[in-house]
Amino acid sequence: MKVLITGADGQLGADVLKALSARGVEHKGVYIKDFDITDKDAVAACMQAFKPSCVIHCAAYTQVDAAEDNIELCMRVNGEGTENFARACSEIDAGMVYISTDYVFSGEGNLPFETDAQKSPLQVYGKSKLAGEEAVLRHLKNHYIVRMSWAFGENGNNFVKTMQKLAETRDEINVVNDQIGSPTYTPDLAELLCGMAFSGKHGVYHATNEGYCSWAEFAQEIMSLSGSKCKINPIPTEKYPTRAIRPKNSRMSKTSLDKAGFKRLPEWQDALKRYLSKS
């Protein structure tokens, strides 16, 4: 077993590296400095040299608001970059785990989206990640498409770090309370991905920590567990405009995990406690 991890310097990629090391699995990390993933020749050369059994593709353009002004770059990285690896995997009969997002959905309603629900992204980022999904489906049968949301981990920036930083200098913070979803602790997801990669249970999955909350509720739990006295003021999305439209409903069904026999991730509150105990 040999695994290639793209985006190894990112929040999730770094945790996948740790999880594979703990399992004693031979692996290689691809970092942003190594080569441009939109260069298909560079991707092919890397794949031919290492010849992995599976690629866990964590690399992505994730700046949601900036993507609205950098459409071509975002589409190239998340669409073409993913296709380059999917094509290269096909050529050496390797599997591929592609990390996608709740942003491929419309965010309408209040029921959890099933894996086969209609895709209707509201912003460039969502469209680019959907393009990546379509590329994987186009080139590979032995694929795992895993959608997550609201990621937080030790490596890189995330909502938890942002809230903690703001709380150092503010007595109160306004946070939206009408966008509902599930936080995803990247070490928990990394463990699932490593087990999934060689399971042979190909398909599309949703994997976030259990339970739903609003961003405001997430922020309140961060303050409570951090011992901060900073007050969180819940506000509607309309009072916090952003460059890119955010989905109001990011709930995703875990039925696909259950049917395949994969264990669901722990409750998000438990994950947050573990994260904060390390910071």
pTM to 2 decimal places:
0.97
66-87 average pLDDT score: 98
CA distances from 275 to 10, 118, 137 (A): 17, 34, 34
Rounded to the nearest 10 degrees, what angle do helices 186-197 and 11-23 cross at? 50
pLDDT of residue 278: 87
User: Which of 267, 239, 268 has its CA nearest to residue 159?
Assistant: 268
pLDDT of residue 222: 98
Please name each of the domains of the chain with its CATH number.
2-158+183-210+251-265 (3.40.50.720)
pLDDT of residue 175: 98
- What is the bridge-based pairing of β-strands 213-214 and 180-181? antiparallel
Cα 123–chain centre separation = 16
Q: Using CA of residue 127, residue 80, residue 34, residue 7, what is the dihedral sign? A: positive
- The string of pLDDT tens digits covering residues 201-245 is 999 999 999 999 999 999 999 999 999 999 999 999 999 999 999
Provide the annotated active-site residues: 125
**Residue 274 scores a pLDDT above 90:** yes
- The string of pLDDT tens digits covering residues 29-74 is 999 999 999 999 999 999 999 999 999 999 999 999 999 999 999 9
> How much is the mean pLDDT over the chain?
97
78: number of Cβ within 10 Å: 30
**With contact defined as beta carbons under 8 Å apart, do 232 and 219 qualify?**
yes
